[in-house]
Structure 1
Amino acid sequence: MDKLDILWSEREIRAVLQRYCRGLDRLDEELVKSAYHEDAHDDRGVIRGNAHDFVKQIVPLLRDAYTGTLHTLHGSTIEIDGDAAGVESYCTAYHYRESDGIKRVEQFAGRYVDRFERRDGVWKIARRLVLNDFSLAQEVPLDPAEAQAGFNPSHRDLTDASYQVLPLRGPDAPTL
């Protein structure tokens, strides 16, 4: 592998990671699935199995249980070996919900430990292990509508403004 191929591969892998997070926050099942190979395995401890089956479960759960989510990536270590790569990504996920009149934010901080494979020239996740470093839940004292007054609203679906500038999605979408 030459240096240019390594750099391009790293860029493609980072794009897959971002696509995964964006898909979760926009509740875009096809976008999330596009980060995984069809036969990919996802292991979160309590949920283990085919990644596409996981996506079919998690997107409706996020839609029904939370008013909003925000998945962020903080740093990824990528080691490429031909058409395989080991990737560790630090991540934080924020989930907002109201239950029994109490508004709270649940935070997950952990790592995605992934095996990526390049198949037919396309990098995707083949195996994912999610590690929990810590989690917490906090009550929100301020009504989020008050805190967000004046900001442009975010939407958790295909009507989100980001789809006006990022119209292509799914496994066939170019990364540039």
Structure 2
Amino acid sequence: MDQLDVLWSEREIRIVLQRYCRGLDRLDAELLKSAYHEDAHDDRGVIRGNAHAFVDQILPILRQAYTGTLHTLHGSTIEIDGDTAGVETYCTAYHYLERDGVKRVEQYAGRYVDRFERRDGAWKIARRLVLNEWNLVQEVPLDPAEAQAGFNPSLRDRTDASYQVLPLNGPDAPTL
């Protein structure tokens, strides 16, 4: 494997990681599933099994329980060996909810420990283990409508402005 292939593979893997987060936050099953091979396994401790089944299970929960989510990626360590790669990525997830008249933000910090495989030229997650470092739940004293007044809204579906510049399919689609 030459250096250019290593660099390109790292780029492709990072795109998949970003697509995963975007799919979660936009509640986009097709986009989220595109980060995984069809036979991929996802293990979060509380949910384990086929990754595509995980997507079908988690999106209704996120849609129903939270007003908004934001999944962020931090540093990734990527080690490539031919058509397989070991990847560890630090991540933080923020979930906003209102329950019983109390507004809260749940924050989760952890790591994705992934086995990526390149099949038919495409890097995707084959196995994922999610490790939890810590959680934090905080009450939000501000009314979110007041705090967000004047800002452009973020939408949790394909009507979000990002879909105007980042189509999933077609000639201008990002690399899948």
Q: TM-score range by the shorter chain?
A: over 0.9
Partner SS for 2:19: helix
Is 1:126 paired with 2:126? yes
Change (3 A) 1:169 1:101: farther
The structure 1 segments of at least 4 consecutive aligned residues displaced by more than 3 Å after TM superposition are: none
Mapped partners of 1:174, 1:119: distance in 2: 18
Percent of pairs identical after alignment?
86
Q: Aligned ranges for residues 147-158 of structure 1 at < 5 Å?
A: 147-158=147-158
The answer as to whether partners of 2:110 and 2:131 remain within 8 angstroms in 1 is yes
Q: Which residue of 2 aligns with 1:17?
A: 17
Q: Which residue of 1 aligns with 2:117?
A: 117
Change (3 A) 1:161 1:174: closer
1:6-32 CA distances to partner (integer Å, 9 max, x unpaired)? 000000000000000000000001100
1:68-119 CA distances to partner (integer Å, 9 max, x unpaired)? 0000001100000000000000000000000000000000000000000000
Mapped partners of 1:71, 1:79: distance in 2: 23
Q: Which residue of 1 aligns with 2:135?
A: 135
Change (3 A) 1:174 1:165: closer
Question: TM-score normalized by structure 2?
Answer: 0.97
Question: TM-score normalized by structure 1?
Answer: 0.97
RMSD: 1.2
- Deviation, 1:169, is 4.7
Q: Unaligned 5+ residue runs, structure 2?
A: none
Mapped partners of 2:76, 2:65: distance in 1: 29
The answer as to whether partners of 2:94 and 2:108 remain within 8 angstroms in 1 is yes
Q: Which residue of 1 aligns with 2:29?
A: 29
- The number of aligned residues is 174
Q: Aligned ranges for residues 50-65 of structure 1 at < 5 Å?
A: 50-65=50-65
The answer as to whether partners of 2:91 and 2:110 remain within 8 angstroms in 1 is yes
- Deviation, 1:174, is 3.8
Q: Unaligned 5+ residue runs, structure 1?
A: none
Mapped partners of 2:80, 2:145: distance in 1: 45
Q: Which residue of 1 aligns with 2:6?
A: 6
Residue 159 of structure 2 aligns with an amino acid whose one-letter code is T
Mapped partners of 1:163, 1:20: distance in 2: 15
- Deviation, 1:168, is 2.3
Partner SS for 1:59: helix
Mapped partners of 2:17, 2:46: distance in 1: 22
